[in-house]
Amino acid sequence: MNSEPDDLPASDDEWREQLSDEEYRILREAGTEQPFSGEYVDHEEDGSYVCAGCGAELFDSETKFESGCGWPSFYDVDDGHVETRLDTSHGMRRTEVVCANCGGHLGHVFEDGPEPTGKRYCINSVALDFDE
């Protein structure tokens, strides 16, 4: 796992070498893991969730909540660590969430989360690592 932009893989082949097949499918090809299958769906430890591709801090465990959607959900993000993009795939109009450091696909954000933000960052477990 890398943490500095200069250390990021420079090519698709380098990403394939660094990531598992499933991490590559999700982070680099905007895939989605099966609901309720991810390692962090029911995870409740204190710490930080970081990008599995580059190690950038993304979410604090204090912002994680049970949404019932089948993926880890957070109501807030570490400022400046994610970017959003319009996603019109699969005939839907959604807001994709990507790592601001490496551009890896993390999941989507919806406007049906709890206060204080009203947001639900619905994130693939495979796109995350956990630091205590």
Rounded average pLDDT over 104-127:
97
Query: Residue 7 has what pLDDT?
Result: 81
> What CATH number corresponds to the domain at position 16?
2.170.150.20
Average pLDDT of the residues of the chain: 93
Counting residues of the chain whose pLDDT is more than 90, the rounded percentage is: 86
pLDDT at 5: 47
DSSP string for 44-71: --SSEEEETTT--EEEEGGGEE--SSSS
Amino acid at 5: P
Active-site residue set: 122
Which residue range is the domain that position 14 belongs to?
A: 5-131
pTM value is: 0.91
Instruction: List all residues 6 or more positions away from 20 whose beta carbon is below 8 Å from its beta carbon.
Output: none
Percent of the chain exceeding pLDDT 70 equals 95
Q: Structural domain tally of the chain? A: 1
Q: What is the pLDDT of residue 1?
A: 47
The pLDDT score that the predictor gives to residue 96 is: 97
For residues 72 and 58, the answer to whether their CB atoms sit within 8 Å is no
